[in-house]
Amino acid sequence: MYLETPRKFRALVSQAHQVAANYLRPLSRTYDRAEHAYPKELDMLAALLDGMNAGSPDAVGAGAAGKRSEGTADGVRNGGNLSACLAVMEMCWGDVGLLLSMPRQGLGNAAIAAVANEEQRQRFASVWAAMAITEPGCGSDSAAIRTTAVRDGDHYVLNGEKIFVTAGARADAVVVWATLDRSLGRAAIKSFVVEKGTPGMTVTRLEKKLGIKASDTASISFQDCRVPAANLLGSPDIDTQKGFAGVMETFDNTRPLVAAMAVGLARAALDRSRTLLKQAGCRFDRQRPLLVLQHAEACWHRYEAEWEAARLLTLKAAWMADNRMPNSKEASIAKAKAGRMVGEVTLGCLALVGPQGYGEDELLEKWARDAKILDIFEGTQQIQQLIIARRLLGKSSAELK
């Protein structure tokens, strides 16, 4: 693995940074204050991104974050997962909530890319997809899902309730996790693409949140909701030997993306706090030993080191996915490290600049609020540590709870 940004992605990274600086960052406070208002400015940006992806072998964005298709030439490859993470890092340097609000860049799109067959990838290529996993009685333990899907001819009938669905009210469709047979446990959980407007699917609530206010977070109920059987992602067969692994492939691709969001947000806080600290007299001279630095400067350097570690772990997990290497452990390590890091860095940077960072004149206070969700969704810190322990010790979920 080469630790520098691959040459073919450098233009993408530069473009994404320009969008973040000149487009997303100026809108940050507007939609933080106007929670539940849709950022219409993002429609044009999404259309531009679609144009960039049209006919491109190296597509960017959430939909690019899938496993390398069968038949791809052997050898080390920098592909869609790595490009998606690099782009997300830059965009979230601009604003996490706005990135999550961008059409066709939802975690549902990454889920489709991870587990759908080729026909489904093409059919849903232009669809903006949210992802619905969490339920009122099922949070971090995705295997405890109670939403059911019963086969009825050419359809599945879904019944249940999902909460905390990011972009659930705005997206064109929702990727819903449901069980085909509760008695078979994890192996029977499948994901379905339920398109907006499908009878029986109802948005029941929009949450008021601590952070990422630009992004809507919905509760959705499913009552005898009929979904075409062709919308079940991947294979409809229940493989008790494979167990939960088929659906968990989604997390192997989306967790590095969430880690990348944390890396981008933390970089924003580091950059802004460095500017303010320099104005206050900190020299930031890397030639000087840490022992003679001012306390604020020494703390800042420690935060940057934590950021760099999270960044490299994130790129490694994405790179492994591009090269068809099992990356479940590495995806969880990246998510755990980045989720913990972004909270420490944003709050720490806010503390370093004192009262100047606490008011709405500075985005530092917003970034500190936005950071918390990145340690929660796609699996909490504690769940990531549990997954890592299982992989290291060779234990199943039944053996290590």
Active-site amino acid positions: 378
The 10 Å Cβ neighbour count of residue 383 is 18
Question: For the residues of 178-234, what is the DSSP string, one character each?
Answer: EES-GGGGGGGEEEEEEETT-TTEEEEEE---SS-TTS-EEEEEEEEEEEEGGGB-S
CA distance 285 to 46: 40
Q: What are the backbone dihedrals phi and psi of residue 104, each rounded to the nearest 5 degrees, phi first?
A: 65, 15
CA distance 222 to 162: 8
CA distance 280 to 213: 31
Q: At what angle do helices 295-322 and 245-279 cross, to 10 degrees?
A: 150
* Cβ-contact 335, 379 below 8 angstroms: yes
Q: Check residue 69 and report its DSSP letter.
A: P
- CB within 8 Å of 274: residues ≥ 6 apart: 282, 284, 300
CA distance 227 to 267: 42
Quick one: tokens of 111? 């889920």
- The torsion region of residue 175 among left (phi > 0), alpha (psi -120 to 50) and beta comes to beta
* Cβ-contact 28, 94 below 8 angstroms: yes
Q: Taking Cα atoms as reference points, which of 364, 178, 350 lies closest to residue 268?
A: 364
The SS3 of residue 295 is: helix
Beta strand residue intervals within 25-139, DSSP E: 129-132
- The torsion region of residue 66 among left (phi > 0), alpha (psi -120 to 50) and beta comes to beta
242 CB burial (10 A radius; 0-12, 13-18, 19+): middle
The 10 Å Cβ neighbour count of residue 388 is 18
Quick one: tokens of 167? 């972009």
